[in-house]
Amino acid sequence: MGPSGVVDLVMRSRLERERDPEGLSAAGPVGPGFRAVRRFLVQWTGVLLSLAFAGCNYSFVAGSFPPPHVQSVAIEPFENETTRFELTGELYDQLLRRLPSALGVRTAGADVADAIVRGSITRYDVVAPNYRAGQPGQAAAVLQRQVNISVRVEIVDLVENVILWESTNVTARGEYAEGSPEDGGRLRAIELLVQEIVDGAQSNW
């Protein structure tokens, strides 16, 4: 049964209790055995609901982000699935510089931290979104280039052993003028990527 089916079951059970608070039915009073069975089903419905949502792509904890007991965070260098090896260090530096202060926590080692941030760099490419068409027989003149970077990321509560937030595709873009160093566009994309991670995590609380 999926999450929506479980939710429907819970709502129907609650509606029946509101309509029949004394345990009466159209056929007349019901015995204690029926009420015991109904209580059992309601309890197990809650269990099924928890299990159903645990299998979804996201797992959230109600309340403020991060939860009050999360006072420190460890940041792991992201695995790099691209050919641009400098990305690992550049992204790690930006995460270390900006993420803890944005979330209001301090940094700590993975062995003592309350939460951990980890992930993978899955995409890096450069495109030319802005160009001027050339004369017949001539190539187009590129005016601007754009760096695209995508990552998978998760923030895990190490105290409660739950995923506070995760995304399989966070993407940011950094533009730079044709003829300028690509580094400028890449660093801009990384800065925006870190902000996307902060915004994405906080938007669910």
CATH class as words, domain 72-202: alpha beta
Phi/psi-derived region of residue 10, left when phi > 0, alpha when psi is between -120 and 50, beta in every other case: alpha
Query: Which tens digit of pLDDT belongs to each residue from 31-67?
Result: 555 555 555 554 554 444 444 434 334 444 445 678 9
Cβ count within 10 A of residue 151 = 27
| DSSP labels, 33-96 | HHHHHHHHHHHHHHHHHHHHHHTSS----SSSSS-TT--EEEEPPPEE-SS-THHHHHHHHHHH
Rounded to two decimals, the pTM is: 0.66
Task: For the chain, give every domain's residue range.
Answer: 3-54, 72-202
Query: Which tens digit of pLDDT belongs to each residue from 101-130?
Result: 999 999 999 999 999 999 999 999 999 876
